[in-house]
Chains A and B, each alone.
Chain A
Amino acid sequence: AQSVTQLGSHVSVSEGALVLLRCNYSSSVPPYLFWYVQYPNQGLQLLLKYTSAATLVKGINGFEAEFKKSETSFHLTKPSAHMSDAAEYFCAVSDIQGAQKLVFGQGTRLTINP
């Protein structure tokens, strides 16, 4: 069964610094991978999605992620953090065979220091 591991439940960066949120997946078949963001007291919003096309995926709000099959990783990056990026970020892998469910990681809380 597919699973994802997000390394670091809490990441803190300074405004203007690089944001790097780590996600490793486990899948016996080529996966579909997603990053969602959740602002306080809101639902989840899709940041970007990997669907086996380009390995470098660009998303909204200046975020991007690179699919690395050899490392089974799908890390999320943003060159320059903004205060408005403070939120909870979830990596997810889809079960494209069988139950078709979306499996979430435990989440990483991103804090931006002024």
Chain B
Amino acid sequence: DTEVTQTPKHLVMGMTNKKSLKCEQHMGHRAMYWYKQKAKKPPELMFVYSYEKLSINESVPSRFSPECPNSSLLNLHLHALQPEDSALYLCASSQVFTGATSRVFGPGTRLTVL
């Protein structure tokens, strides 16, 4: 298994809803990432987990809450989002968290906040 899977593919939510994005990999990677990508822009790093511990939080608003239950799973809990949070949310993984290792990206979740 050489891929990162993400569910759901599309998500529409209101500003008062609570929802979660899920990411899974079975490559034995020990680093996992959340990125946010707006249209026609490069991905922006949000969070990095290394060996199931939060390693980097890029000053992301608290309405985004990451969770890493085990080495294969990564969740992103969403609450009280704003319309400007609408974007493609990409999960990625790498063997370890170093600059030298290439990230394997999932297909993304297209989020629309109404």
Contacts and interface: CB of A to CB of B under 8 A. Distances in A.
Interface residues of A, number: 24
Interface string B98-113: 1110111111101000
Contacts of B49: none
- Place the interface of chain B in its size category: 20 to 34
Q: Specify the main secondary structure of chain B where it touches its partner.
A: loop
Nearest to A9: B40
Contact of A32 (B56, B97, B99, B104): B99
Contacts of A97: 99
Interface string B79-114: 000000000001010000111101111111010000
Nearest to B3: A43
Contact of B102 (A46, A95, A100, A106): A46
B42 A101 contact: no
Contact of B105 (A41, A44, A100, A106): A44
Contacts of B90: 43-44
Given A94-B99, A96-B99, A96-B100, A44 B56 contact: no
A99 B100 contact: no
A107 B102 contact: no
A104 B107 contact: no
Given A94-B99, A99-B56, A106 B41 contact: yes
A105 B99 contact: no
Nearest to A2: B99
Interface of B: 4, 40-43, 45, 48, 56, 90, 92, 97-100, 102-108, 110
